[in-house]
Each structure stands twice: as C-alpha cells, then as structure tokens.
Amino acid sequence: MHAVKKVNGPILWANTHLLFWLSLVPFATAWMGENHFAARPVAPYGVVLLMAGLAYYLLSQCLIHYHPEGSLLATAVGSDFKGKLSIGIYAAAILLSFANRWAGFGLYWVVALIWLVPDRRIERVLAGPAGGGQ
C-alpha cells in the first residue's frame, strides 16, 4: 500500500470483495478439517482460495488502472506472474480434488509455498535505483 497514492469507489469495493473471500477461509478450513479432508469440503475450500486470488488480482488491477501509466505501483506489480499462476493452480486443484483429494490439497500447498518466498518487487521499485526511495 506504500505505492498507492489515491483510491476511488471501485477500489474500495474491490477491497471489500477481497476481504469477503478472506473472511470465508476459516469456515472452509474448519469444514475441511472436521470432515477429515474429504473431497466434498476440499473442493469448496479451493473455491474460496480461488475467489480470494481472483479478488486480489481484481484489486491490484483496479489500483493500477486508477494510477497514471508507468506509476510506481504498475512498475512494481509488473505482469504479476505469481498471482496469475496461483489462480491457475487453484482452478486445477479444485478439479483434481474430485479425483484425488490429496492431490488437490497438495496443489493448495504448492501455492502457499510459491508465496512463502518473499516478493520484493514493490520494495525494489520504491527504493529506486540509488536505494533512496521516492
């Protein structure tokens, strides 16, 4: 959020949309745990994760489009390969969970491991070429 200079109504709605999906994670996780990772709750857990990923992507795109072309935010986010890859893996995991619940659940872990590696894009852009900030 350090790179964000201004917001508007659609950005606030996109943020609320993301917060809604994130608020469902504890319920989906509890349902999955209570049913011993059966296929039926593993797939909806993935749907919640997928929708949160899509909501995050929507929020980032709203922010980028509201700021001027070539802004620090647009430069920092770039093509958002990790975000798009995560959405694809979540979609595959949902489908796979019906055939093999553990394989689907394993793909959820793959996404978590992808994001475990810190993403320093915004920090590098804010630091600038001399490391002095904006």
What is the tens place of the pLDDT at every residue in 31-88?
999 999 898 899 999 999 999 999 999 998 998 888 888 777 777 777 888 899 999 9
Rounded CA-CA distance 11/4 in Å is 11
**Residue whose pair of structure tokens reads 């993403």 in the numeric block:** 119
What is the model's pTM? Answer: 0.84
**What are the sequence ranges of the domains in the chain?**
9-127
- CA-nearest of 37, 103, 61, 112 to 82 is 112
Report the chain's terminal Cα–Cα distance, integer Å: 14
**Residue 105 identity:** F
pLDDT for 113 equals: 95
User: Percent of the chain scored above 70 by pLDDT?
Assistant: 90
